[in-house]
Amino acid sequence: MGKGFFLSKPLGVGCMILGAGAVATIIALSVVYSQEKAKNDNQVLPTDGGTTTKPPSNEPWDKYRLPKSLLPQQYNVTLWPRLLPDPTGLYIFTGETTVEFKCVEDTDLILIHSNKLNYTDSASLTSVDSGVKAPSIKSSFLQSETQYLVLQLDGKLVKDHMYQLYTKFTGELADDLGGFYRSEYYEDGVKKKAFPCFDEPAMKAVFHITLIHDIGTVALSNGEQKETSSVVIESQNVQKTAFGPTEKMSTYLLAFIVSDFAQINNTIDDVLIRIFARKPAIDAGQGQYALNKTGPILKFFEGYYSSKYPLPKSDQIALPDFNAGAMENWGLITYRETALLYDESFSSNSNKERIATIIAHELAHMWFGNLVTLRWWNDLWLNEGFASYVEYLGADNAEPDWNIKDLIVLNDVHRVFAVDALASSHPLSSKEEDIQRPAQISELFDAISYSKGASVLRMLSDFLTEGVFTQGLTSYLNTFAFGNAVYTDLWEHLQMAVDNNTATQLPDSVNDIMNTWVLQMGFPVVTIDTQTGGISQKHFLLDPDSTVTVESPFNYEWIVPIKWMKNGVIYPTIQWLKTKSDTVKEMKTSGPSDWVLANLNVLGYYRVNYDQGNWDRLLIALRDNHISIPGINRAQLLDDAFNLARAKIIPTVLALETTKYLTEERDYVPWKSALNNLDFFYLMFDRSEVYGPMQNYLMKQITPLFTYYKNMTSNWSTIPAGHMDQ
């Protein structure tokens, strides 16, 4: 599922600051910041009162997880959405489905998910196997809390035999953006609003879909369209479109759409690529950018995974109303219009960037998430974190001049640091038994799953090397294709790749290293003392007075990979910090101008602090020759310093000192990092005595950047060629 957010560019933000006025001296800013923060720290925040719940029932239909007694094999589903209201003013759909399932444990109970469906006939149960009679349905009822249709039988289903359950139903085509609805539909865990099904990700099956729809409309689903015929049903002339069987897949990836949309298409290596949208948007060429980039991104991922795209088509559709940025339905990806359509005359460069990255995110899921699917939602972070990482790789391949891979530091690493530095954060992976209710599942769709997941997987790919990482991925995908896995399965296949590549040396197993990042919340601040060569780690908390009440299996210590440089020279091997502290003699400096910089290109998921002397020498390096420090690390120094100051680890004046060199900075990433952090101060000092001096200082710092772009654009008459410049 796509993230969906816009990037503001530093030039635009900078021009607003420049037009607003001027700023303060660094010392005055530091003093007032301390005063204002003290006020905020003393505020008492309201707390929610606790709620009580009744003891859990032992009845199977009161439990949120399906029993393991039945496994679906295939569904035959026919749906007829009515696009005009009935006499009562409701928009409805009718449907019927036959689900074939295997009994793996003798049982006299069928639980199947059903939500807001009205059953028009009694359900019927038959046996597929000759010589085996299906028991009769003794009673049936709907359990609304757990969203089950409950069927109690007068005898037992027999292990290893196949059965079919037929139901006929109606439902409302509401406009609530959930289930089967007008304008488009659904998200995780709500397919049960369209037809009864075993709605868990591990309950994979093959789907045969038939849609009945008005003449002049187009029906779409995951499978290829096999046959469309004109028929008369209930005295109405309609069309009936049958789709070929899907691959074995999870219910949450199923999609079906009826619309009057137009489309454009092309074919690449026998894969049909189509973009659907409102006809005026297609006629205006707004789908062309997405069509042009989908093929190259698909080809990139085929190479990255060493696995051919597993479907014959890739449909993408832009919907006017959609409750997510996008959804990776297998072979029929749904998007908000702003996430797929690009208007050359009106859309911004940020729009184009967003479209490229979201398309890459969703196409990455075609393998990682769809071909191989999480067993349960507690491992959601692996699905979404992985796609959030490789979306930058796919978009970079489609737009190689953009340097878009650098933006993961701003969009994901720095973004999630702010959340994961709170005592209320949570680990990436939860225990399966702790994630049961739909509300608990929904809560997992957060910055931790997406952005921290992306950040730690990027770190993993780096210290393994990309070749070893992708070798392990390919093995994992081949082993679990059309099935389900847990995150430790990936660690095992990555470990096999490490064992086959002697060039990659690790201090521990992939499992042991990564569990320190996955099974405990937060991240460390690594402190380097260049006077002694000492390095240490500590759980970084933005509020140093907060109390962490959640115990960690690793005592809030991590196995930390440290890439570093001294005086601009990169050390070739990774320094691993496995304990709370260690000594690295090479990190000790001797000359008066020697400096050390750690976490090169912010590939590690941690912050870095230094002794005062090294901070001073880094500030001199920024002032005298800022390009001796990589651009991403210049952004890191700014972000680390400001957040270390907020956590009362370094003086605020030191954080503000890092902005003095900005008169020489022209790159987007450092400026964006600076503006993100200065915005906090901007809000903190509003209506204070230093607000005016602060504006003066910022105007002084940003004026050279303003002048640089004024000259580049011939006094704002031309558009810069570079993506980051725009």
What φ, ψ does residue 438 adopt, rounded to 5°? -55, -35
Q: Bridge-partner residues for 258, per DSSP?
A: 219
Please indicate if the annotation marks 384 as binding a ligand.
yes
**What is d(CA 1, CA 453) in angstroms, rounded to the nearest whole number?**
14
Distance CA 343, CA 358 (A): 17
- CA–CA dist 121, 170 (Å, integer): 10
- 32 backbone dihedrals φ, ψ, rounded to 5°: -65, -35
Burial of 726 from C-beta contacts in 10 A (0-12 / 13-18 / 19+): middle
Q: Do 256 and 234 touch, CB atoms closer than 8 A?
A: no
What is the 3-class SS of 380-412, one letter each residue?
HHHHHHHHHHHHHHHHHHHCCCCCHHHHHHHHH
CB 454 within 8 A of CB 382: no
Say if residue 361 carries a ligand binding annotation.
yes
Catalytic-residue membership of 362 = yes
Best CA proximity match to 297, nearest among 320, 314, 318, 322: 314
List 362, 391, 399, 657, catalytic entry: 362
Integer angstrom CA distances of residue 280 from 283, 336, 343, 554: 5, 16, 12, 57
Measuring CA to CA, how many Å separate 326 from each of 174, 337, 441? 20, 9, 18
Q: Is 213 annotated as a binding residue?
A: no
d(CA 210, CA 226) in angstroms, rounded, equals 10
Paired tokens of 703? 């004026």
- In angstroms, rounded to a whole number, what is the distance separating the alpha carbons of residues 673 and 95? 53
Amino acid 435 reads I
Residue of 76, 74, 94 lying closest to 86 (CA atoms):
94
Q: How far apart are CA 431 and CA 444, in angstroms?
A: 12
Q: Which residues pair with 210 in a beta bridge?
A: 78, 242
Q: How far apart are CA 202 and CA 179, in angstroms?
A: 20
One-letter amino acid identity for 452? K
d(CA 76, CA 312): 21
Q: Annotated active-site positions, please?
A: 362
Residue list for the binding site: 361, 365, 384
Report the binding-site residues for Zn(2+): 361, 365, 384
